Structure 1
Amino acid sequence: MMTIKDVFEDYRAQINGVYDANEIEAITLLVLGEITGMSNASIKAFPDRVLSTEQAEQTKNVLAELKTGKPIQYIFGVTEFYGLSFKVNPYVLIPRPETEELVEWILEGERQKVKGKRLSILDIGTGSGCIAISLKKNLPGAHVSAIDISTGALETAKGNAELNNVEVNFIETDILNIKSEIEIPKSDIIVSNPPYVTLEDKKKMHSNVTDFEPHTALFVPEDEPLLFYRAVADFALENLNADGQLYFEINEGLGKETVQLLADKGFKDIELRRDMSGRDRMIKASPL
């Protein structure tokens, strides 16, 4: 017989080298909730509840995968972002809380504007589609497009758009080499969370990111860490409508450099914003 309390003890004992105590608590709650259908409050209130044989087996199977460092979101194939459900797999990055803050910043700006014209938004390097889909869900009148180089990522993003009942125009292309025959609409907002992790950064990262999440969506050459920011900024100068805005999620260690890059290219009203953890995490700018 295995109880809820036993599961917490097993997880604490066996993955404490992979995650810290708070993460283990959160993961165990998530696993038990997914397997039993119980709420977090019920799980905490009934630690002596006995799991069925099948449920106990499932918790052990998940634990075995967690011990390899595999993220819980990939194990269950789903995560939550900005109050919506998203399917995730090794083709796409797992959406992060700081990216939710970027979405909120964009929505803050749009809520303050006079309504009337139909807003056009482009998400560059969409991955799971979390930014594009969340914006479309909250700005249903907007025309939203999203591009990515990865066929697998775009298939995942299309599935997520269907899951959340929104229409997004997905385009397969490489922002570093957009072919002339590919048509991308002009936009009022361009947003991008491009690859920005250098090999130096990689050394400090946990293996559950570096071993499992897609490298093309994460890493940039050590000697050119702003490669994608430069390409997106150049694209934005040509493809933003008048009074348009560019939003980036950025490498926290390269805030000043990213601001300087945009200033050198002639962007104005450049604003560097910190996330809830106090790290330089996002930038907004307007073309001249």
Structure 2
Amino acid sequence: MLKKLMKKLVGTKEVTTSKQSLAEIKQGPIPEHVAIIMDGNGRWAKQRGLPRTAGHQSGVESLKEIVECSAKIGIDYITAYTFSTENWKRPQKEVNFLMKLFQQVFEKELDRFNQQGVKVNIIGYKDRLPDSVRKMAEEVMEITADNQTITVNIALDYGGRAEIIEMAKGIAAKVKAEQLSLEEIDESQVAAELYTANQPDPALLIRPGGEERISNFLLWQIAYAELYFSQTCWPDFTAETFIEAIAEFQSRERRFGGLKKGRC
């Protein structure tokens, strides 16, 4: 199973990661929550003379592989940026394809989610999704709600600024209803109104595809996340590539604004 998990063909070259390297990774600090901007699907397809839709389809397979790998090394939460509030500006044909793809993936992978203990959480503006996609998303969340191996947040019609606006409205409503005073508003109150309430903030943000920006993703939650940028397009992002990102995370010193003993 491990060999199958850690293997992916890139052209005619087979790439593998050994059990030893996986074991070594498990000896170091493992980020409890990893956020991923799944970028580069279109560029990957263009490089191969394929339509952009082929890149999105291949990207689904990459996410499945990374989720399996994450569960094996002990990551508890993955948040995957799949469709932003700005992505509605893309050509209607591509948007329609993506909405259909989301629905198909939810339907096709539901049994796998349960077998692997994956809890699926859809974050974003669910009410703007096509009815068929929204209903399937709600069904997947309900059916997988008690799974405990790993939680996968699917950021669908998601924007960090939009989330902060919704958070502000939620807190304002509580203040107006006299359920909360201004003096009681603190970081914990803010976190409780976010889509990721009751989850730890991501310790690591991964962005493949060659771009080095945040793109309106988890603006509050990634305040102290380690950022990892890769030139590899998302469809080529294998379990091996993911483990390289985790190894880089383990090599960094996390101080959260403080100083380690002996450092200036």
TM-score, length basis structure 1: 0.32
Greater relative contact order (Cα 8 A, min sep 6): structure 1 or 2?
A: 2
